[in-house]
Amino acid sequence: MFITDSIHYVGVNDHKTDLFEGQYHVPDGMAYNSYVITDEKIAVMDTVDVHFTGEWLENVEKTLSGKKPDYLVILHMEPDHSASLSEFIKKYPDVTLVGNAKTFGLLDQFYPEAPKSERKTVADGEMLSLGAHELTFTFAPMVHWPEVMVAYESKDKVLFSADAFGKFGALDVEADWDCEARRYYFGIVGKYGAQVQKLLKALSGTDVKIICPLHGPVLQGDLSHYLKQYDTWSSYKPEEPGVLIAVASIYGHTMEAAEKLAAKLEEAGVKTVVADLAREDMAECVEDAFRYDRLVLASVTYNGGIFPCMETFINNLTERNYQNRKIGFIENGSWGPAARRVMQGMFEKSKDMAFCETTVTIKSSLKAADNEAIERLAKELS
């Protein structure tokens, strides 16, 4: 597939993997992207997952049409992008590997038996000339591994962005970019917002017309929407007004209270989403928590603490630096309700958090007297 006259897509689609990184459901599959730049010198940009080495090598060979690559540029060493490296070197033994010092440290850890090949170690800001095309490397440590770098090709104004601007989903499946890119961002990159902001600032004066990520579609045309989303996500700002009510219920009474609160909020014109943490995809729930500006945590008290799926959910948020939100609480406990205290305490290190004064406290089952607290909490959140 041609991206420009000189830049070709040679990646693969994966419909075999059920859990990306062993934890993220990918019902629409996954794309492992790789690119070839043809010029006086030929550069291949990254490899693919080991299960697709053969298909990828065929794509590369077909694109090269009998020519030999001069460089294999390694922007990211995670195995879904580097695991075909050994077979590539066997096929093209004269290729020069291009990476930074940390790249090659990880390469030797992952693939100690890889065939030896010439290496070119680049510095931050260094340029590699292919002829008319020049690649300038910008280091992007912890977006989302320490060796990550991006490359800007100045002739066609293409940013090879590594895992940044990626999304879940194979390229032969049509899907809305925002939803799966958001779930991907907060799952994979979300902890490293400061590092993403640093990269965005480093690239702010660069004239980028095309973004070529290592996952998801090539982004072309007006890139302002994608850049705006990444700026919003990485600065931990809410994307839109709304309330996520995240529920951990055992016998349905806590869920009943959550649904009553949702109805009150919707009556007030507030966009509201209710998520059953025990049954829904956890990454989707985390995504929605970052998407909206308000959150309600509704949990039973369990063994003196909170229900395990709620604990997991909050840990997922705090690990990713959840901040700048308003949170309300619904707790349930038959003899010693303690869920609010525990849940609020888990955010003690979080920045710029506001907590509703009203707590809806249920004793076993929802009663008519509890409706007043639900009304008050709805007003605080409206």
Chain centroid to CA 93: 35
Give the orientation angle of helix 253-267 with respect to helix 371-381, to 10 degrees. 50
Report the DSSP beta bridge partners of residue 237.
none
Q: What is the pTM of this model?
A: 0.94
* Nearest one of 187, 199, 89, 81 to 139, comparing CA atoms: 199
Domain(s) of CATH 3.40.50.360: residues in the chain: 241-381
CATH code of the domain occupying 7-234: 3.60.15.10
Q: Does domain 241-381 have CATH number 3.40.50.450?
A: no
pLDDT computed for residue 1 by the predictor: 84
CA distance 36 to 25: 30
pLDDT one digit per residue (tens) for the chain, 382 residues? 899 999 999 999 999 999 999 999 999 999 999 999 999 999 999 999 999 999 999 999 999 999 999 999 999 999 999 999 999 999 999 999 999 999 999 999 999 999 999 999 999 999 999 999 999 999 999 999 999 999 999 999 999 999 999 999 999 999 899 999 999 999 999 999 999 999 999 999 999 999 999 999 999 999 999 999 999 999 999 999 999 999 999 999 999 999 999 999 999 999 999 999 999 999 999 999 999 999 999 999 999 999 999 999 999 999 999 999 999 999 999 998 999 999 999 999 999 999 999 999 999 999 998 999 999 999 999 9
CA distances from 215 to 11, 101, 130, 211, 229 (A): 9, 24, 24, 11, 17
- Residue range(s) in the chain whose domain bears CATH number 3.60.15.10: 7-234
Instruction: Tell me how far CA of residue 31 lies from CA of 26, 173, 215, 223, 255, in angstroms.
Output: 10, 10, 5, 20, 37
Query: CA 109, 113, 118, 124: dihedral to nearest 10 degrees?
Result: -10
**DSSP state string for 9-43:** E--EEE-S-SEETTTEE-TT-EEE--EEE-SSS-E
Structure tokens given for 96: 């020069």
pLDDT in tens, 44-55: 999 999 999 999
pLDDT tens figures, 255-290: 999 999 999 999 999 999 999 999 999 999 999 999
Structure tokens at 136: 């300038």
